[in-house]
A and B are shown apart, each in its own frame.
Chain A
Amino acid sequence: MIEIFKIIIVALILIGAFLSLVAAFGVLRLPDVYTRNHAASKAATLGVLAVLLGTFLYFYMEEGQVNSRVILGIVFIFVTSPVAGHLISRAAYNSGVKLWDKSVQDDLKLKEIAPSKKRQ
């Protein structure tokens, strides 16, 4: 029983570290702010979640203590990280950062017309 849990803990922490590494690769490789945001806000979230879950399980199995702070940390990251990704990309768009050259479509351009119409 304990051995199975050890394997699960090791797998969780390794998967978390691997996902964080992939997120770092993505930030380096992808061409513009928005696509980089995809990698950073998704892969990093699940990476940190997996590492925290592995830590929680380790201290639960080895020391027998239930550390609820780790669970709270998981919930907080889960809720805040997509919002952070959204805010960063929105701030980038509003301050005029261009999309990548090969981007095909940009519906958000149409949005700029609407509020000025309202004002007239």
Chain B
Amino acid sequence: MAFQILLNVFLGFLWMFFTLTYEPVAFLKGYLFGMVILFTFRRFFGSRFYLGRVIAIISLGLLFIKELILSNISVLKLVLKPKLDIKPGIFALPTVLEKDWEITILANLITLTPGTLVVDVSDDNKILYIHTIDMDDAQEAIDSIKNTFEKAIMEVSR
């Protein structure tokens, strides 16, 4: 991915030198043309076309913000409810992600999800230990959320 972006910047500079105009607009024009060229020659690169990955990163950021707002609403309800009928507990969640940065992002996302907080990661990076505030409805709902998170992160790293 980094190589493709570097190549695209290089093509942008090349366009500036071709047209003898050294302005940001000329660079942007060259960058866009270079993007078209990279898309045409995408099968020669080892990884996929980098724009898809950029879009995946942006959608991951939007997911982050959405989860932050949802979890705040749930904490708000929990704290302001007159009766304290919570059932906290710690459960284990096996994960398929392998690289360190993927697990870090997954743990951050889980911490910002409604009602969950990562307490520990096992030594072989295979299991996350998660403290949840309500054990009843947690299990299935949270597992499905985890699947969307893991999928979104895998979309970036694939």
A interface, CB within 8 angstroms of B: 19, 22-23, 25-26, 29-32, 34-35, 37-39, 41-43, 45-46, 49, 78-79, 82-83, 85-86, 89-90, 93, 99-100, 102-108, 110-111, 114-115
10 pairs across A/B with beta carbons < 8 Å? A31-B84, A34-B117, A38-B133, A46-B72, A86-B111, A99-B88, A104-B89, A105-B89, A105-B90, A106-B89
Cβ–Cβ < 8 Å partners of B89 in chain A: 99, 103-106
The range of chain B's interface size is 20 to 34
Q: Is the CB of A114 within 8 A of B131?
A: no
Within 8 A of A (CB), among B119-157: 119-120, 122-123, 127, 129, 131, 133, 135
Q: Is the CB of B135 within 8 A of A25?
A: no
Residue of B nearest to A49 (CB): B68
Within 8 A of A (CB), among B72-119: 72, 75-76, 78-80, 84, 86-92, 107-108, 111-112, 115, 117-119
- Judged by a CB distance under 8 angstroms, whether B69 is at the interface is yes
B125 CB, nearest partner CB in chain A, Å = 13
Q: Is the CB of A82 within 8 A of B129?
A: no
Q: Is the CB of B119 within 8 A of A90?
A: yes
Residue of B nearest to A110 (CB): B92
